[in-house]
A and B are shown apart, each in its own frame.
Chain A
Amino acid sequence: MKAIESLKEKFSDKIISHDSFAGQDFITAKKECLKDMAVFLRDELHFDFLSDLTCVDYKGYPGRENAPRFETVYHFYSHKTKERISLKFPIEETSPNIDSLTGLWLAANWYEREVYDMYGIHFTGHPDLRRILMYEEFKGHPLRKDYPLKARQPRIPHED
């Protein structure tokens, strides 16, 4: 049985939608079940590799006016079954937070810091949620659609 079928069976009440395109499976689900799904994927379905973790800002996206603004996207790969699956979790602008996967895959650590840096999503339970690319003094989150394209921030002094 493909992973998407197992997930649909086990998390039927949490899954918002699912899709398959070009041999890739996508599942959109409620963010509360992220950890349960991740544990299930890792321990039961042998998805041992978190290959990417990113985020999308859908502000102003045609057809998504009433949908949640953000979506975190997780790409998993199984070295055992050679299968891939992508999970998406919609996140409301008013409460931009989701559970951290750092405890399950160490790779999530820096990915989550990047998403926090660029989109301002807070990962609950992350051990060290600091900016990873921008400097500490930077205000705002530059990949948000409402970050002004031409905005320039004060230059930082040198620190020893």
Chain B
Amino acid sequence: MGLETIFGNSFLTSRVDEAVNWARKYSFFQYPFVTACCGMEFMSVWASTYDIARFGAEFPRFSPRQADVLFVVGTVNEKLAPSLKRVYDQMAEPKWVVSFGVCATSGGFYDNYATVQGIDKIIPVDVYIPGCPPRPQAILDALIKLQEKVSKETVLKYKGLK
């Protein structure tokens, strides 16, 4: 990186991936797809005690077209599955999915006729959070894991080049 030495402190060189990912990972706009009791823990993460705003991800968008991260919070049943797929399809790239709690991850103890046995049967998932419901710490951990994942991506991926 030789340019800084020529132009002094007024210049900073980086890779495009680094700069874009840095911006993306600290400004997640989430779509909360909340269907069940896990939502209570999710709300507490938003509130002041755990304060998800520290990670730049506090702002929920209730339109999937304006969101980056889909939080599937709670049980998804077969009747709801088409709607979840629809919400995911409406989100613009780049987009990520967090499966929140055991019900979204595997169906949980709802091993029955009505419940989808994990949302990864319908949409791709980036981070799974175990727990029934997960503690707020686990949610923040998942968010950090998602940030790590995002920081390793390349912008070429979304242009179909990689």
Binds B, one of A58-66, A69-77, A79-87, A152-160: A152-160
User: Any chain B CB within 8 A of the CB of A147?
Assistant: yes
User: Any chain A CB within 8 A of the CB of B83?
Assistant: yes
User: Any chain A CB within 8 A of the CB of B114?
Assistant: yes
* In contact, B79 and A134 (Cβ under 8 angstroms): yes
User: Any chain A CB within 8 A of the CB of B82?
Assistant: yes
A39 to chain B, nearest CB (A): 36
Chain A residues near B121: list those with CB within 8 A.
Answer: 155
* In contact, A156 and B114 (Cβ under 8 angstroms): no
* In contact, B113 and A147 (Cβ under 8 angstroms): yes
A88 to chain B, nearest CB (A): 26
* In contact, A158 and B113 (Cβ under 8 angstroms): no
Partner of B113, one of A142, A156, A157: A142
Chain A residues near B140: list those with CB within 8 A.
Answer: none
CB closest residue in chain B, given A142: B113
* In contact, A155 and B114 (Cβ under 8 angstroms): no
Chain B residues near A147: list those with CB within 8 A.
Answer: 113
Report, as a range, how many residues of chain A touch the other chain. 10 to 19
* In contact, A135 and B113 (Cβ under 8 angstroms): no
User: Any chain B CB within 8 A of the CB of A22?
Assistant: no
Partner of A151, one of B85, B86, B113: B113
* In contact, B82 and A159 (Cβ under 8 angstroms): yes
* In contact, B82 and A153 (Cβ under 8 angstroms): no
Known contacts A134-B79, A155-B78, A142 near B85 by CB under 8 Å:
no
Most buried by A among B78, B86, B117: B78
B122 to chain A, nearest CB (A): 8
| Chain A 111-145 interface mask (CB, 8 Å, partner B; 1/0) | 00000000000000000000001110010001000
User: Any chain A CB within 8 A of the CB of B138?
Assistant: no
* In contact, B79 and A158 (Cβ under 8 angstroms): no
CB closest residue in chain A, given B82: A158
B80 to chain A, nearest CB (A): 10
Partner of A157, one of B79, B82, B111, B112: B82
Chain A residues near B78: list those with CB within 8 A.
Answer: 135, 138, 153, 155-156
B36 to chain A, nearest CB (A): 16
Task: Provide the bound-state CA to CA distance between A147 and B114, in Å.
Answer: 12
